Structure formats: structure tokens, C-alpha cells
Amino acid sequence: MHKFEQMFRLDGRVALVAGSASGIGRAAAQGLAAAGATTICADLNGAGAQNVAAEIRDAGGRAEGLVLDITDQQGVDATVSQIIAEHQHIHVLVSTPAVNVRKPLLSYTGDDFDKVIRLNLKGSFLIAQAVARTMSEKGRGSIILLSSIRSITVEPGQGVYAATKAGLVQMARALAAELGGAGVRVNCIAPGVVETPLTEPIKSKPEWYQAYANKNALKRWASADEMAGPIVFLASDASSYVTGTVLFVDGGWTAIDGRFQPPL
């Protein structure tokens, strides 16, 4: 097989996907497995992770499911050690878990703030740190963190969420700078509006849902499956010289003004 025919393949590699029970995490796990990776489906919802792993196996892929709380440092370290003991390496990490407390900033409580920061930023840091240590020892790896269009553009009610997504970008850049010499690449995916369980409340409000669709160039929402291709790209050798960057998968949301369609 010519090298350009296999550059998107992940045969022989092990991918850990945190938050894989639903949404973008589920699509990422399925996409990585379809590209040939042995995929470890991890989620706080252990039954959901097992179900996704079973779906992958039913489709002919290799996968297993496990329970993981990325905010639990001891649990994260133990899970990474367990995977290394069984598979010798983690070649790819995708971390997707996130939460939003949708409130004006002046209404935020300290507990609200801690809840969003603890999962979105600290949890992502803990799992990236643990996996990066073993990747550095092995001299190879790709870490993909899930940022958002909210890293650069925000609306009322998403201030702290947006701050975490911007923070993830800078953390990924710092990791890329520190780990590049060890052969580890670190990048962010920044989705736009994606139909997932997290955005289900918006879908139930037609005016709100359509306003978001109209804001981007493609005039529609993305499916979670549309995130799988960019994730496989960043996981594979097709992106071997890509690190410290943000790949916006937003239908053109951040590229256009969107307030008015001038007559041309």
C-alpha cells in the first residue's frame, strides 16, 4: 500500500476516548475504530461506554469500555496504568467531557464556577497530563482536546464555559511546546453547533435552534458524526506536522459576520 493510501489509517494503535458514551465522544470512538485503532471507550457512564464499545465490535472493530471520571486524579492515573499494562501504549487521546451552567456572570455562584472549571479545564488537564507522561516515554502520541467556537466568540450565559474553552486552547499550545521534542503532538478541535445531548435543550426551542443554524455559512447544525473525520485526521499520520493548533469545525461560524446578508 502506498504511504498516501495509509496515512489516515490507525492500524496497530490504541486510542483512549474520554466521554465516549454519547455525542462527539461516541462519534470519535467509532471513527477511530473504523480507521483501525483499538479504541478504549471511557465515560463516567460506564454502561454507555460499554454499549459504544459493543457497537464498534459489532461493526468489526476492536474496542472495550470502562468507567472513568476525568476529575478524579487517582482514577485517571490508575486507568492509564491499566491500559498501558494491557496494551503497552496509548497512541491517541481524545478528551470530550464538558458542562455548562448557562447563567449571566453576575448570577454565577462560586459552586457554579467550580463545577464548570473542574470538569472542562481541570479534568481535561488531568487526563492529558497522565497520558502525555506515557506518550513522552514512548516517544510518540497525539492528544486532541475539545475546545469550541466559544474559545473566541461568546454569548450571554456562556461566559465561564467560554473561558474554559479558551483555556483549553492555551493549555494545548503549552503542551505542544513542551512535548514536541518527545514526539507528542497536541491539538484542539473547535466545533460549532453540534447536535448532542448537551445541546438538546436548544433543539427543543425551534426559534433558538434555527437562529444558530442561520449563523453559520452552511445554514445548519452539524451531526456528531461530522466531528469524527477531523479527529481521525489529527490522530493519524496525515497530520504528522500539525501541533499546537486549533481546527475549527464550525460550518464557517467564526469566519463570517452573519448579521446581515447584503444585496449583491
Examine residue 259 and state whether it is found in any structural domain, yes or no.
no
Examine residue 254 and state whether it is found in any structural domain, yes or no.
no
Output the CA–CA distances (angstroms, integers) from residue 94 to 2, 17, 114, in the order listed. Answer: 27, 5, 23
What is the model's pLDDT at position 1? 62
- Angle at CA 194, nearest 5°, toward 30 and 209? 150
Examine residue 48 and state whether it is found in any structural domain, yes or no.
yes
Q: Which triple of cell numbers denotes residue 263?
A: 444585496
161 given a catalytic annotation: yes
Give the span between the Cα atoms of 60 and 33, in whole angstroms: 9
Examine residue 198 and state whether it is found in any structural domain, yes or no.
yes
Q: Looking at residue 198, which CATH number applies to its domain?
A: 3.40.50.720
What is the model's pLDDT at position 4? 85
Length of the chain: 264
Domain extent, residue 178, equals 3-247
What is the model's pLDDT at position 166? 98
Beta strands at 246-249 and 184-191: parallel, antiparallel or unpaired = parallel
Examine residue 229 and state whether it is found in any structural domain, yes or no.
yes
Blockwise average pLDDT, block size 10, the chain, 264 residues: 85 98 97 98 98 98 98 98 98 97 96 98 98 98 98 95 98 98 98 88 88 93 97 98 98 85 72
Q: Of residues 161, 209, 212, 241, which has the active-site annotation?
A: 161
Examine residue 132 and state whether it is found in any structural domain, yes or no.
yes
Examine residue 255 and state whether it is found in any structural domain, yes or no.
no
Examine residue 263 and state whether it is found in any structural domain, yes or no.
no
Considering its fold, how many domains does the chain have in total?
1
